[in-house]
Amino acid sequence: MEEEDYVFKVVVIGDSAVGKTQLLGRFTKDEFFVDSKSTIGIEFQTRTVEIGGKRVKAQIWDTAGQERYRAVTSAYYRGALGAMLVYDVTSRRTFDHAARWLRDLRAHADNSIVVMLIGNKADLAHARAVAADEAAAFAEDQGLFFSEASALSGDNVDAAFLALLHHIHAIVS
């Protein structure tokens, strides 16, 4: 197998049950696992993509449930070049907690980390509790990229991860 030119560590953070594991699974394997908790214990998954003629291996870390105990440690953030900060568009609480996750990230991660706010479960339009405009405004204010997505339908999942990887690439190359 060919060697990659870059390895980008990306962490996925956000409240429990917002769909972090599903998003990661969708991007790395294009699958939606109904029994997502079977992945506990897996630290990261990878997918190699080509960006600007270079082979970039995305190494995407899952909290594997640590966030339940607010035990996401500095080791989790160490060396991360990107972060997906996920909330659930049907849960106002998970969006309100995004500010807290951002503080955590700012305290532990490198200053230059590229962060994308993701409003997941966009397929559940009837149950929406957070307007896209409001999240976009928060993201702009905080210097984050923003996208809604659905790990269930697959909508915007690849696009969001690839955008994050392109932004990281623009910084490191």
Site residues, ligand GDP (CB under 6 A) = 16-22, 34, 36, 120-121, 123-124, 150-152
Question: Please, what is the minimum distance in Å from the beta carbon of residue 57 to ligand GDP?
Answer: 22
In the numeric block, which tokens belong to residue 59?
């190494």
First to last CA, the chain: 23
Question: Please, what is the minimum distance in Å from the beta carbon of residue 62 to ligand GDP?
Answer: 7
Question: Please, what is the minimum distance in Å from the beta carbon of residue 85 to ligand GDP?
Answer: 12
Between residues 54 and 92, which has the closer beta carbon with respect to ligand GDP? 92
Q: ∠ at Cα 85 (82, 87), nearest 5°?
A: 160
**By Cβ distance, which residue is nearest to ligand GDP?**
19
For residue 118, give Cα distances in angstroms to 5, 53, 75, 87, 164. Answer: 27, 27, 23, 6, 11
| Residue among 168, 106, 98 at smallest CA distance from 139 | 98
Between residues 56 and 88, which has the closer beta carbon with respect to ligand GDP? 88
Question: Please, what is the minimum distance in Å from the beta carbon of residue 1 to ligand GDP?
Answer: 29
